[in-house]
Structure 1
Amino acid sequence: MGTSKMEFLQWSCEDVATWIESIGFPQYKLCFTENCVTGRKLIFVDCVHMPRLGITDFKDMQAIAARVRELLGISEVLWSRSIADPPRDIEGLFLEMKSRTGVKTDELTPQQLLEDISH
């Protein structure tokens, strides 16, 4: 696991478990591996979803959610938006698209997303 901004998208369940341990939560490694949380699925890990993984301590949930947002490079949870909010930033939209699986998604680059949006 390196420090490339989008490298986490390629993380396996084991990579995510190693990361969760590295940020100070080794007790939750099994929660992430048993639920097969990959780097792409990590995008959706927030305080709403953590209890489903077996993480119920609220302070831990807040800390992990903050570290996930930090890893993603976002300041707010992507899916807590209102239609009254300003337009999406491209990086957040790209991350949301990359969370999906499939050949088209695997090949998607930020430049391609920009081109798709502008047409």
Structure 2
Amino acid sequence: MDFLDWTSQDVAQWIESIGFSQYKACFTENFITGRKLIYVNCSYLPRLGINDFQHMKVISAHIRELLGISDVQWSRSVADAPEDDMSVFLKIKSCTGQRAESITYDQIKNICLK
């Protein structure tokens, strides 16, 4: 999970590597680091200045792939568990502090299995 340590410059290089160099400044000027990238999705991208819907879909798919999370299930029942283990882990890791730094994915899996 090296991306959690990415600076906004690292994120900008990544966005360029997936073919969207025109958006590098959108990520650097908004200080989007690897931890903040966890929250970037189609509804967030317009706030960064990315408004092309096709680009938004592709970038969001790449972010989900990078994070190792599945596509959003829009048709799921509200009674279903809202998140998978990886999503819970990434939300915790998006924070700073000793607790967030020390938790591992295996710990989250064990908690979610109970």
Q: Compute the TM-score of the two structures, normalised by the length of structure 1.
A: 0.82
Letter in 1 for 2:52: D
- Structure 1 residue ranges (4+ consecutive) displaced by more than 6 angstroms after TM superposition: none
The Cα shift of 1:11 comes to: 0.7
Q: Does 1:93 align with 2:67?
A: no
Please name the residue that 1:73 is paired with: 68
Give the 5 Å matches for 1:18-33. Answer: 18-33=13-28
Are the equivalent residues in 2 in contact too, given 1:40–1:99 (CA < 8 A)?
Answer: yes
- Identity, in percent, stands at 56
SS in 1 for 2:40: coil
Q: Which runs of 5+ in 2 are unaligned?
A: none
1:112 and 2:107 matched: yes
Corresponding residue pairs, total: 114
Describe the superposition over 1:56-92 as per-residue Cα deviations: whole angstroms up to 9, x where unpaired.
11111011001001111122249x9763224643222
When the two chains are superposed, the root-mean-square deviation of aligned CA atoms in Å is: 2.4
Structure 2 length normalisation: TM-score?
0.86
